[in-house]
Structure 1
């Protein structure tokens, strides 16, 4: 399989899992809803100007291997400084960036070809050696984030063929290598990275559309256009300012006050308010869900009865209605949206059953093991609030004590990596279910935080990864879901709300992968 076109290589149904179309047409009923509303600026891009983008989190550092590539994490920083090796659109198309071509030899061996003449902003070449250095380095847990490590570990080895060509050998064959690249999509100058993390964060060197001017922690990052960016005349903006705030309401208030031009929202109620106020709300267009995940490896959730009890005790619809003020969607019936060719809800998640839940809790208590646990979450406002709503629901049961603990995102993720938690609120976002589901629940994965290990689950994941036939893949992922349901592995309570809300006069917004937002195409109407 060879993918060669610069911006529109359609790779078909194998990558069309997320078809929540990120269209910009107005919602006929008015308001934001779950489909988005309004229109971003159209016409020829306008060059110049400064745009302020309000993200959810600020990164601990600017090492490309440490930046998580999704809408609500640090993708905007990575896209600004490092650009994209490639993109997978919400419609399932591969659009090439720094990579010019991918060739599938046999599922295990892939040939990666870079564009000619690429350089980092320090003048050193972005060649096959540099790509190898970055992808090899992405396996190092001391510098890379867990999600990066999980994807990089799928690469068994790399061989430089020539300046522009890298031969990649995968640990396991897959037809979805482009999806795997999403988590290792940012590369930096090996020369600069060799100076150490502190020096690199002070002066990051990539090949992206912007370069760092200044970074005042807990305030703002200011970046200037890279005059030597490979995809001229992009970037259109002269300056990009990135701020961060974990509170969705405060981000919306900043947009209303005219303090920012673009803000992330991960709350359906906020999106509804923004749409009602006439703002443009754009859905990121990927499959993704948020869940309460149990830790199988330690008490109390090493006992399947404890997992089943909480699964049946939580009323998912009431949780979503409270969390989003009635503006959200119905809880998912599947891990894959119904708009996908891979959708099948035959193994739907169970409805709440308070009576059976109490029976299980009483049974555990009679054995001297009354259920007590802590829900660990990040300090993202909606995630923390979801934990509080769950706690309130569970307080209605006897023989059950539930605490909640919200931590700053980096600390929360560190706790998961160290296996220091009972249950956590976690999300998964993807265009294609492979490799994300492989890394989420596959045996031995660095981001299999619930520590589930099941041969039938692993076999089904493998079939979904290897095949490019939609019918075969649908059957495989149905079996994945059936195992997760049978084992009460997680409580999937909502599709992940992921939107950009913009003020009037912002154009050039696009999404790829897990809602990641490139910034090279952003522009402002001159009088906006």
Structure 2
């Protein structure tokens, strides 16, 4: 890891305190860089599944968000908790985003183009975008933002994905154009900066001391903020993406537990709630309210360290994968909602190789592989914590399934602070929580020996060579072929068990319109409040 990320913890990067954060869904934007929209995992994921009627302007939306605490922040470059993302991505915006189907879309960038070798990119900003204080968004703001993200004294969440970028060499070509040189070919640069830590901030913004009254380019403007309690935002009347937003006022309130959220929705205290368990679906329906379920490309892998016994033997890793009854696990954890995983990252990525056979439970083959490896009486500890929806239940079900092959999986139930603390990526067998990003972006974060979060510690020189070859390949079709080679290696020898891609379950009242699903793994269509309206 280079000095840009040496002080960045997993908790800083992910937000660690539960499932949920946000990506603005950006309805109506153009696809970027040759990417095409892919259909969402499973069924019921049309991005217009809860739209109704002609949008009406005005009114207030009361939102009951899962989580939040006195450590809530408005920090645009280092949000930590899901509630932080709901706030910052209502106030600020990115150059590119992952849309509701997972396809890359432009937002503040109108176009991003590479040179022939992907060692240099040119960002063309969308003209006519203004900050909440009326000033124009310019190239200087973009350069300043990248400099703050990669500040070696205090790197923020996006720093790991800018290691190939020569931030010091970025140049302003004119008021709306930025030249971005790279230390090495970086064909996926536009996808990398679509991550959730690349909000563009105005010059002078200090993420170590974020302003109490933040100014962004987003659809809503700041009015008030009480950490752990409530935020109030108002419509940005000069927002560049007409006709959004429809609401006059957006109120975001924190809720410490799901039952309180559900009761608030049923009583009418709030209009929408997020990140529910499958158990709340019937309660909400019986109370006359509605649920919106998104089959996402987010996942909670069980990761095995490939450099430590017993998982340094690929036969043991394959046996563990064959123990998993994926349909049963999805049924038990999410009442069948979600999509089956195949131990490969990012189902919604157009580069995902659907031709690789779906892995099924095979207890006899698992027993055979364990015996061949001399591990027929395998005992291993799986560290688990409530880091996301269903993770502890997932671990419990897996331990039961592995027991059918004679393996004894001892569960070590801990806390999110421990799971994402100093021991993160040092556990022999543990879990993680991963929001959608494209395949190569996720590999950069966790799939290489040099990654900032190398959970599985998988290391094959040929695999790393394929990764570097992919980043040097501008032609998308040829790059996908390379990615498929990598995914085959993941499936055959990798260290992740990805049983499923989890669903997000949200509740809402009948007078709320404009909600839509999203494969990104964030709730409420990616906290896309700008598209919501009340009737």
TM-score above 0.5? yes
**Unaligned runs of at least 5 residues, structure 2:** 1-26
Q: Distance in 2 between matches of 1:234 and 1:361?
A: 61
Distance 1:200 1:34, change over 3 A: closer
Offset of residue 411 of structure 1: 5.4
**Aligned counterpart, 2:182:** 170
Offset of residue 494 of structure 1: 0.7
The SS at the match of 1:160 is strand
**Aligned counterpart, 1:39:** 50
**Aligned counterpart, 1:20:** 40
Correspondence list, 1:350-361, <5 A: 351-353=361-363, 356-357=366-367, 360=370
Distance 1:223 1:440, change over 3 A: same
The SS at the match of 1:205 is coil
Offset of residue 149 of structure 1: 2.3
Aligned residues: 501
Offset of residue 382 of structure 1: 1.5
Correspondence list, 1:484-499, <5 A: 484-499=490-505
- The answer to whether the aligner puts 1:385 opposite 2:393 as a matched pair is yes
- The answer to whether the aligner puts 1:205 opposite 2:218 as a matched pair is no
Report if the CA contact (8 A) 1:40-1:504 is conserved. no
**Unaligned runs of at least 5 residues, structure 1:** 1-5, 28-32
Distance 1:155 1:303, change over 3 A: same
Distance 1:395 1:353, change over 3 A: closer
**Aligned counterpart, 1:220:** 230
Report if the CA contact (8 A) 2:228-2:254 is conserved. yes
Q: Distance in 2 between matches of 1:180 and 1:338?
A: 15
Q: Deviations over 1:65-114 (max 9, x none)?
A: 22379xx6853222112134333424566554332332333322211122
**Aligned counterpart, 1:3:** none
Q: Deviations over 1:431-476 (max 9, x none)?
A: 6433234433134122333222223323444455555666544533
Report if the CA contact (8 A) 1:82-1:187 is conserved. yes
Aligned residue among 55, 64, 68 for 2:76: 64
**Aligned counterpart, 2:327:** 317
Report if the CA contact (8 A) 2:72-2:228 is conserved. no
- The answer to whether the aligner puts 1:436 opposite 2:436 as a matched pair is no
**Aligned counterpart, 1:522:** 532
Q: Distance in 2 between matches of 1:437 and 1:227?
A: 40
**Aligned counterpart, 1:10:** 31
**TM-score (norm. length: structure 1):** 0.78
Aligned residue among 186, 191, 203 for 2:204: 191
Offset of residue 398 of structure 1: 5.3
Q: Deviations over 1:1-42 (max 9, x none)?
A: xxxxx95433486343x41189xxxx9xxxxx7779963333
The SS at the match of 1:9 is coil
Q: Distance in 1 between matches of 2:153 and 2:261?
A: 32
Q: Distance in 2 between matches of 1:329 and 1:209?
A: 32
- The answer to whether the aligner puts 1:405 opposite 2:413 as a matched pair is yes
**TM-score (norm. length: structure 2):** 0.78
**Alignment root-mean-square deviation, CA:** 4.1
Report if the CA contact (8 A) 1:38-1:275 is conserved. no
Correspondence list, 1:32-111, <5 A: 39-55=50-66, 60-67=72-79, 74-91=84-101, 95-106=105-116, 107-111=118-122
Q: Distance in 2 between matches of 1:283 and 1:399?
A: 35
